[in-house]
Amino acid sequence: MKRRRLKHVAQIVAGQAPVGDAVSDNGVIPFLQGCAEFGIKNPKAKHYCDKATKWAPTGSWLISVRAPVGEINKANRKYAIGRGLAAIVPRKIDENYLGFALLHSRTALDRVTTGSTYDAVSGADIGNLEIPVPSEATQKTIADFLDRETARIDHLIEKKERLSKLLGEKRKVEIIRAVLRGNDCDVKLKDSRVGWLGLLPKHWEINKVKHIFRLSCKPAPANNDLELLSVYTDIGVRPRRELEQKGNKASTTDGYWIVRKGDLVVNKLLAWMGAVGHSEYDGVTSPAYDILRPINNGNSKYYHYLFRSETAQQELKRFSKGIMEMRLRLYFDQLGNIFVPEPPREEQDRIVSYIETEIDMRLSSLQDSIDQSVSKLHEFRSALITAAVTGQIDVTTWSRRDSTDRRLDQIEEEMSV
């Protein structure tokens, strides 16, 4: 099959900042800076500008030129585009076929990415990308075939992702029930007289946070080599080196707060969004965080699960201070006055064990199966696009042989074993 450079069949429009960098939430022209505004098929602008320098016309393909390089969306209207994007405007190639050819060519684009801080490609790199270009009639036949077959795969992926979301919701419900009721279904309950706690086991104590944890503010010594830790809303406390992006390193950790294994780390700015976590590590963390250390013999892992629940997050938000939501901060003066359950230590331990060995292991097994299935479906989708675009399969006979159905059935059977 004949191959041609992209610049010979399409116009490449490299994005550029709007005039005066004037971007706002309101304006005349919808503006896209990068792939953060991409949807499943089409983008949704979050920002606007009054004067644009570079445009993506309706029907053009938008491609991310900064990490993650190669993500694409189709322009469903005219957009102004910034430096994170380029527009590929079809000239001598079928519009829909071009989109599939770009998906097929993403690995080739990955090979020319450069950058010390983040991966990026230039407009010239995109223009020099070679893609298969069959006859116009064949392009349309391939595009129609892939529209139909990928829609079937996408529908199945969507069903799997809905199931994944339901599992996530089930986990949240089971955890909040465990931290507020324990794992004894027959336990006698009492009115906690604390609005957000509702009914609690009759034998549990109720106490203020400041009577369970103390604030630890011990600074790290100069020139220390202690592990730098951060707390994240989705995964809790982790060493930053495991997750940091290129160039995102603290120049020094002198004077940072010392963290001990078993401490509770609280991001004052994002606590109400779940940025609270039990530390499994000794290390240091930014003074922007509070370090809570158990006063007596409490299990901070129990409070990790409690404070990261959506029910508790609403209470943390109520006690946070700030003139607007994005500036809310939860200081220990406020956090310390929140009433929380205080089960006996041995029961805290049982609840943590129940969450980690019963709830998480059971649901994680199901989630892993779904993730593997979705991964295989994506792999099949990519392979099918490549096979069709490069002429490895005859798209006119593929459907008649029920080839897609057989592969989808095979994926389902593999996941059920």
Q: What is the pLDDT of residue 242?
A: 79
Mean pLDDT (10-residue bins), the chain, 417 residues: 94 88 81 94 92 93 94 96 96 97 92 76 94 96 96 93 95 96 94 96 97 96 92 92 61 91 96 96 95 94 97 95 88 97 97 95 92 94 96 88 81 68
Q: Is 181 within 8 Å of 202 (Cβ atoms)?
A: no
Q: What is the pLDDT of residue 114?
A: 79
Q: Which candidate, 229, 355, 377, places its Cα nearest to that of 299?
A: 355
Cα distance between the two ends of the chain: 40
413 CB neighbour count, 10 Å cutoff: 9
Helix/strand/coil for 72: strand
Q: Is 144 within 8 Å of 100 (Cβ atoms)?
A: no
How many helices and strands (H and E) does the chain possess? 11, 23
Cβ-based neighbours of 273, under 8 Å, separated by 6 or more: 233, 313
Q: What is the pLDDT of residue 246?
A: 43
Report the C-alpha gap between 371 and 168 in whole angstroms: 13
Residue 44 dihedral angles phi and psi, to the nearest 5°? -135, 110
Question: Does the predicted model carry a pTM greater than 0.85?
Answer: no
Beta strands 229-232; 264-267: pairing state: unpaired
Q: What is the pLDDT of residue 389?
A: 96
Q: What is the pLDDT of residue 86?
A: 96
Report the C-alpha gap between 46 and 310 in whole angstroms: 27
Residue-range domains of the chain with CATH: 3-133 (3.90.220.20), 135-204+359-417 (1.10.287), 205-342 (3.90.220.20)
Q: What is the pLDDT of residue 280?
A: 96
131-169, pLDDT tens digit by residue?
999 999 999 999 999 999 999 999 999 999 999 999 999
Report the C-alpha gap between 50 and 27 in whole angstroms: 6
